[in-house]
Structure 1
Amino acid sequence: MDSGAWEIIHIPDKPAFSPEHQPTLKVYASVIKPKFANTIVRQLCKIAPLEDLRHVKRVRRKILPDNGEPQLTVILCLAPEHNDHLNDMPPDVQKLIGPYELSPFITEVCKYAAVSKEEWEEQCKIWPTSFHPPTYNIDGIGGFSEEDKQSICKFMSVAINLAVSSHKPLVNAAVIVDPSVRRVIASETDQVYPSSAPCDMTTSETIPFNETGESTHCQSVNREANASSEICLNGLLEKLKGSSSAVACLNPWQWSLQPHDGDKCSQWHPLRHASIVAIESSAARDRYLFPNSSESFGMDHSQPSSADSPAKKQKTSINSPGVQNDSREAALRDPSMEKPYLCTGYDIFLLWEPCTMCAMALVHQRIKRIFYAFPNPTAGGLGSVYRLQGEKSLNHHYAVFRVLLPGHGHAHNALDLDQGLKHVTAES
C-alpha cells in the first residue's frame, strides 16, 4: 500500500484561524509606572480577573526606542464590544485611576489561545500571549512515522471496505484497534435499520472468540488489515454518488421518517450507530476473556428496562453456546493478558466523523485516538459542528485526525464529499 498517497491531518482542540486573521476582543489598558506594577496587578486580579483570557499576558513590556527605557502597559478589564466610552469601566477599576496616575485607553487582544507557533507570533504583534505546545503523550500530534502511517492506512481501508461491502445502502463503519499490538478489537457498522443490521438478529448473541479474544469476524478483518491489497475506492465513490441517508451519524433522526411497518419497526433502534455497536462488541470481548470479573455479573445499566428491546437482544452473552470454555481458559492462563479498562489506549477508525452522541460515548470509553475519512456537516461532534475534544469540562480528551483518501488530495476528497453529502441535506 502506497501510504504516500494518503494524508493525515490533526484536528485541533480549538478552531484554526489563519495567523493574520485572529479574532480579537476589546480591553481597557493603561501605561503604568514600574514601581506600581505588582500592586496594580494584584488588585486587578481580584476585582477584574481575566478568566477567559488566561493565554493573554496581563502586562506588556516594551522598550522605548528614543531613550531605551522600559514601558509597562497593563490590561485593566474587558471593554464593551460596541462602546468606546471610558466611563463604562467597573467602579472598582475606576478607583485605581487617580491613585496610580492611570491613563486608560481601549486596545485589542486575541480572543483564543494560539494552536501553533505561527499563530502565536502573529498574536504577539497585537498583544503578548502565551503559547503552550501540546504536552500530553498522544502519538501523532507531532506527525507519524512511515510505519505508523502504513498501519493507519490499512486500518482505515478496513473501515472503508466494511462500510462499502457489507450492506446495500452506504453506512458508517467503526473499527476499534489496539495500536500496541496492531490488532482489531471490534469492527461494526450502523445497525439502526433492519436493512443495515444483520439479517439474523440473534447472531450477535453467539459470537465465537479464539484464545486471544478475537471474534471470527475480527480474525478475518485482521487478515485483511495485514494484506497488501488496495481498498475499494471505486466502490466507495460509486456509493457516495447515491444516497447517504442510511448513515446514522449524518442523519440521527432519519429513522423517524421511515414507514411504520409493525414487523420491521420492532427491529429498529435509533441508538445503534457504528461506534456504539463497536463499543458493545469490545465489551463482549472483555466479558468473554474475563468472566470472573465482578463487572460481568453486575446489572448492565446501559440496557433499556424493557426485556424485549432490540438492544438487549443484541447484547453478547458470556454464556453463549458458541463460546468454547477450553479456549477461554487457555486465554486466561496467558500471563500477558490483562483486563483493559474500557477502551483505554485504543484507536477507532470511522468512515464519517461521529455525531455528538458517539463522540461522547468515545470519551466515556477512554479512546486514545479517533481517525475518520469524511467530515459530518450535519451533526459532527469533532470539528464540523461541535468540537468535543476541546471541551475543558470533560475528564478525558482524545486526539482527532482526519485521513484524506488517496487520489487527488484535498480536491479529490472535497469533490467526492460534495457529491455524497448533497443527497444527505436534500433528504434530511
Structure 2
Amino acid sequence: MEEPQLKRKPNVIDCHLNSLRTSKKSLNVVMNDMTSQPLTPVYVGHIKNPRDLSKTVLLLNQKVPVKELQHLKRVRKHEVIICPIEYVNDMSIEDYLCKCDEGFKDIFVAFEVKNVPKLPPKLKKQYEDTKLFWPCNFHPDKYLEKLFSGQFFTEQELDSHRRYMEAAFLAAKWFDVQNVAVVVDPAISSVVAIGEDNRKCHPMQHAAMLAIDNVARTQNGGAWQSQMDDDTFIDVKLVAFLKDLNVKFGHRRFKSKQEEDTGPYLCTGYDVYMMKEPCVMCAMAFVHARARRIFFAIDNEEDGALKSRVKLQTVKSLNHRFEVFTGFL
C-alpha cells in the first residue's frame, strides 16, 4: 500500500498572499507619534488686580515676547504666562521682570512654575489634551485629521493598493527574492517599473535602487544594464505571470534626450509598493527620486528606515518628504 503524499507546506510569501487577499484592514499612515504632547516649564504670574490684565498682557507682548509659545493663549482667568524658565537664568522672576520694564512692579501677587504644551496641536485629540494644561489656539487640518482617522482611503482605493502590493509579492515569488519594489504612476493607473533584490550580483542593487533605475530608463536614463523588455522595461515573462491581477503595465512616453524634456523627474508623482520596509539607503534614494508615497507590507526590524528603526519621512530638514503607509497584513 502506497503511503499518502505529504502536503507541501506553503512558503512565507504564499502565507502573506493569502492574508493580503482576504484582508479587510484599512491602511495606517506612518508619521511621528501624535498621541502625546511634550511639555515645557514656564513662569506663570497671578495678577493682583484683574483690571490691570489688558495692559499687563500688552506690556508682556512688547517686553517679553514668547514666539515659541504663540500657540498658547497668554491668559487663563487671573493667570498670565510670563516666559519659559530658561529666560530667567539665575535671576529671580521678580528681578527679571523689573529688568525688562519697571512697569511690571507690584502687578503680580504671586508666581509659580507650570508645565504647558511645548508644540501647537495638529489634531483635535491633541487639542483636547492640550487645553487641559493651558488654553491654546487650534486651527483644524482636515487632511491631517482624515489621514489619522483610519478612513483615509475608499474601498475602491484600498482594493487598488492591495492589488499593487499583491503584484510585489507575486514578483518576489517569481524572482525568488526577499524584496521587490513596484512603481506605479497613479495618473494613468499603470505599473511603470519593477525592481527586485539583486544583491547577490551587486551590493548596491537593492529592490528599490533597481526600481528607481528602471524608472530612469523609461525617461531615457538609467545607470545599470538590464535585460528588461525594450518597450515596457518590465520583463515580458513577469508581465505574463501577473496577467491575472488585472493591472496595467507601461509608462507615459518621454521625449528623447535631444528634445526638451517636460516630464516629471524620476519618481515625481509616483507611488511605490514594497514587500518589505526599505533600508536608509533605499529610503533616501526615494527622497532624491521624489516619490510621492511609499507603501510596504512587512516591517524591517533590523534596517527599516520608515518605521522600525527611524522615520525618515518625518525629518523636517529634508528637501522632499513622502507619505508612508503600511498595515496590509
Q: Measured at CA, do residues 338 and 28 of structure 1 come closer, stay the same or move farther in structure 2, by a change above 3 Å?
A: same
- Residue identity in the other structure for 1:95: K
Aligned to 1:253: none
Aligned to 1:26: 41
Instruction: Quote the Cα distance in structure 2 between the aligned partners of 1:125 and 1:339.
Output: 50
Kindly report which structure 2 residues correspond to 1:265-304, keeping only aligned pairs within 5 A, or say none.
Answer: 268-269=202-203, 271-287=204-220
The reply to whether residue 344 of structure 1 matches residue 268 of structure 2 is yes
Query: What's the CA shift for 1:316?
Result: 5.5
Kindly report which structure 2 residues correspond to 1:67-146, keeping only aligned pairs within 5 A, or say none.
Answer: 71=78, 73-79=80-86, 87=91, 95-96=99-100, 99-100=103-104, 101-102=107-108, 103-134=110-141, 143-146=152-155
Q: Measured at CA, do residues 135 and 122 of structure 1 come closer, stay the same or move farther in structure 2, by a change above 3 Å?
A: closer
**Are the aligned partners of 2:219 and 2:254 in contact in 1 as well (CA < 8 Å)?**
no
**Structure 2 stretches of 5 or more lacking a match?**
1-19, 48-52, 233-251, 256-260
Q: Measured at CA, do residues 127 and 178 of structure 1 come closer, stay the same or move farther in structure 2, by a change above 3 Å?
A: same
Q: Measured at CA, do residues 354 and 60 of structure 1 come closer, stay the same or move farther in structure 2, by a change above 3 Å?
A: farther
User: Residue 392 of structure 1: SS of its match in structure 2?
Assistant: coil
Query: What's the CA shift for 1:372?
Result: 0.9
User: Residue 42 of structure 2: SS of its match in structure 1?
Assistant: strand
Instruction: Quote the Cα distance in structure 2 between the aligned partners of 1:105 and 1:349.
Output: 53
**Are the aligned partners of 2:287 and 2:322 in contact in 1 as well (CA < 8 Å)?**
yes
**Are the aligned partners of 2:41 and 2:84 in contact in 1 as well (CA < 8 Å)?**
no
The reply to whether residue 60 of structure 1 matches residue 75 of structure 2 is yes
Which of the numbers 280, 284, 307 marks the counterpart of 1:383? 307
- Residue identity in the other structure for 1:24: L
Deviations 1:330-350 (A, max 9, x none): 9569xxx96222211110111
Kindly report which structure 2 residues correspond to 1:328-343, keeping only aligned pairs within 5 A, or say none.
Answer: 339-343=263-267
Aligned to 1:35: 55
Q: Measured at CA, do residues 31 and 377 of structure 1 come closer, stay the same or move farther in structure 2, by a change above 3 Å?
A: farther
**Structure 1 stretches of 5 or more lacking a match?**
63-70, 195-267, 288-295, 301-311, 325-329, 406-428
User: Residue 27 of structure 2: SS of its match in structure 1?
Assistant: strand
Query: What's the CA shift for 1:165?
Result: 3.5
Query: What's the CA shift for 1:175?
Result: 0.7
Kindly report which structure 2 residues correspond to 1:228-243, keeping only aligned pairs within 5 A, or say none.
Answer: none
- TM score, norm. by length of structure 1: 0.55
Aligned to 1:399: 323
Instruction: Quote the Cα distance in structure 1 between the aligned partners of 2:328 and 2:143.
Output: 25
**Are the aligned partners of 2:273 and 2:295 in contact in 1 as well (CA < 8 Å)?**
yes
**Are the aligned partners of 1:30 and 1:76 in contact in 2 as well (CA < 8 Å)?**
no
Deviations 1:283-315 (A, max 9, x none): 01110xxxxxxxx5xxx8xxxxxxxxxxx5x34
Q: Measured at CA, do residues 93 and 286 of structure 1 come closer, stay the same or move farther in structure 2, by a change above 3 Å?
A: farther
Q: Measured at CA, do residues 136 and 16 of structure 1 come closer, stay the same or move farther in structure 2, by a change above 3 Å?
A: closer
**Are the aligned partners of 1:3 and 1:149 in contact in 2 as well (CA < 8 Å)?**
no
- TM score, norm. by length of structure 2: 0.70
**Across the two proteins, how many residue pairs are aligned to each other?**
276
Q: Measured at CA, do residues 191 and 2 of structure 1 come closer, stay the same or move farther in structure 2, by a change above 3 Å?
A: closer
Q: Measured at CA, do residues 332 and 388 of structure 1 come closer, stay the same or move farther in structure 2, by a change above 3 Å?
A: closer
Q: Measured at CA, do residues 92 and 159 of structure 1 come closer, stay the same or move farther in structure 2, by a change above 3 Å?
A: farther
Aligned to 2:7: none
Instruction: Quote the Cα distance in structure 2 between the aligned partners of 1:284 and 1:114.
Output: 44
Percent of aligned pairs sharing the same letter: 28
Query: What's the CA shift for 1:182?
Result: 1.1
The reply to whether residue 153 of structure 1 matches residue 192 of structure 2 is no
Aligned to 1:251: none
User: Residue 296 of structure 2: SS of its match in structure 1?
Assistant: strand
Higher deviation after alignment, 31-40 or 171-180: 31-40
- Residue identity in the other structure for 1:36: T
Which of the numbers 18, 26, 34 marks the counterpart of 1:7? 26
Deviations 1:184-208 (A, max 9, x none): 11111222223xxxxxxxxxxxxxx
Q: CA RMSD in A?
A: 3.7
Q: Measured at CA, do residues 90 and 363 of structure 1 come closer, stay the same or move farther in structure 2, by a change above 3 Å?
A: farther
- Residue identity in the other structure for 1:359: A
Instruction: Quote the Cα distance in structure 1 between the aligned partners of 2:38 and 2:297.
Output: 29
Q: Measured at CA, do residues 125 and 152 of structure 1 come closer, stay the same or move farther in structure 2, by a change above 3 Å?
A: same
Q: Measured at CA, do residues 321 and 190 of structure 1 come closer, stay the same or move farther in structure 2, by a change above 3 Å?
A: closer
- Residue identity in the other structure for 2:212: I
Q: Measured at CA, do residues 345 and 78 of structure 1 come closer, stay the same or move farther in structure 2, by a change above 3 Å?
A: farther
**Are the aligned partners of 1:29 and 1:77 in contact in 2 as well (CA < 8 Å)?**
no
Instruction: Quote the Cα distance in structure 2 between the aligned partners of 1:90 and 1:186.
Output: 67
